[in-house]
Structure 1
């Protein structure tokens, strides 16, 4: 049984991973910026596995709050075995030169600074207790090669997280701390719907076929990702749900008429 901390875990892939871990008998400490979200998520997870979930509020741009999250998890379950830096922001609304200054700050602070601060807290704690695994969240199917329109600043933050993770692997290999990365794929989540609302009907119909090929529901990807995190013993591994091979097979299936429909359940 592992004790796991996930930042930004009241919704989306963070929530999906938390549920997958609890269903497998592990303890999870969840966090979000809002107290109501933490209370609701913790209660629902404890319905799945009584006593398996705890939670506290945490703004990952404030290092002291991340340190408090670590302490909360230690007090709740005795130790932290796995820490997942999941909290962050996504925004597909702007070209790089059009993005407002406050949006740039939000993306860089939440994604980069939040991951740096979370990594510092986790690494220091793991070194002190003598073991632990840290996972940083990359974007979608991130490999640094494919460009997604209107995701320039977001993608830059995820590239920074990838490079940060390489340094963390090298710096902690000899200290009993495993560092890895998670590429969850293109998942339909609350943030995704906020972006979809910004599209015109014409824009939506244009990209819908492609998204039906590339996207997945959180509940589809999260169980597999959770299993890989629990089983992984390889430092530096990127656990990727949406691989190049999977993308090719999906395009081939669509060409052969085996089309997916992910959005009808949402009335889209």
Structure 2
């Protein structure tokens, strides 16, 4: 996880930035930030959260270092996506710990196929904007989902068998 989330992103961004800087047309680097990148951690997610926090700091540094060049840097905060990795971790965490988180995840979580088209559209809309951050699960959206939770049950986890 550390190799993929931190080192892979750092080496990939470094290689991409060097190549883009050498071209007259430049380019764009977009890092995917996740749970923990803002300093908030979920129980059982210490290592994952720490890698994403480091990635957030790395992205902020890239934004500063590449400012004024032909390379723009941005980030995406996709929210809680129910991916294969998420499902695997849900099975590994055990029923008691998972049960504590299930209700909130059903309220806040999303299927990738519902979020990715929105993210791609917003990546296109922010082209050329250095430091752009695209966030799916914003504070107003969180408040809205929790306020609706008492009236309608949202259950996206059952279709994943968790």
Q: Report the TM-score when normalising by structure 2.
A: 0.90
Are positions 1:133 and 2:28 aligned together? Answer: yes
Does 2:130 align with 1:239?
A: no
Most deviating of 236-245 and 221-230: 236-245
Residues 229 and 202 of structure 1: is their aligned pair in 2 closer, same or farther, counting only changes over 3 Å?
A: same
Bigger RCO of structures 1 and 2 (CA < 8 A, at least 6 apart) = 2
Structure (1 or 2) with the greater strand fraction: 1
CA gap 1:151/1:266 in 2 versus in 1, 3 angstroms: closer
Larger Rg belongs to: 1
2:18 matches 1:124: yes
Q: Which runs of 4+ in 1 moved over 6 A?
A: none
Structure 2 portions without partners, runs of 5+ = none
Measure, in 1, the Cα distance between the counterparts of 2:36 and 2:133.
10
Aligned 8 A contact 1:140 1:184 in 2: no
Q: CA deviation at 1:201?
A: 3.4
Decide whether aligned partners of structure 1 residues 264 and 151 sit closer, same or farther in structure 2, where only a CA change above 3 A counts.
closer
Retained in 2: the 8 A contact 1:141–1:185? no
Change (3 A) 1:267 1:170: closer
Q: 1:42-86 deviations in whole A, cap 9, x for unaligned?
A: xxxxxxxxxxxxxxxxxxxxxxxxxxxxxxxxxxxxxxxxxxxxx
Name the residue aligned to 2:145.
250
Query: In structure 1, what is the Cα distance between the partners aligned to 2:42 and 2:95?
Result: 20
CA distance in 2, matches of 1:124, 1:251: 44
**Structure 1 unmatched runs, 5+:** 1-106
What CA RMSD, in Å, does the superposition of the two structures yield over aligned residues? Answer: 1.7
- The 1:141–1:220 alpha-carbon spacing in structure 2 relative to 1, beyond 3 Å, is farther
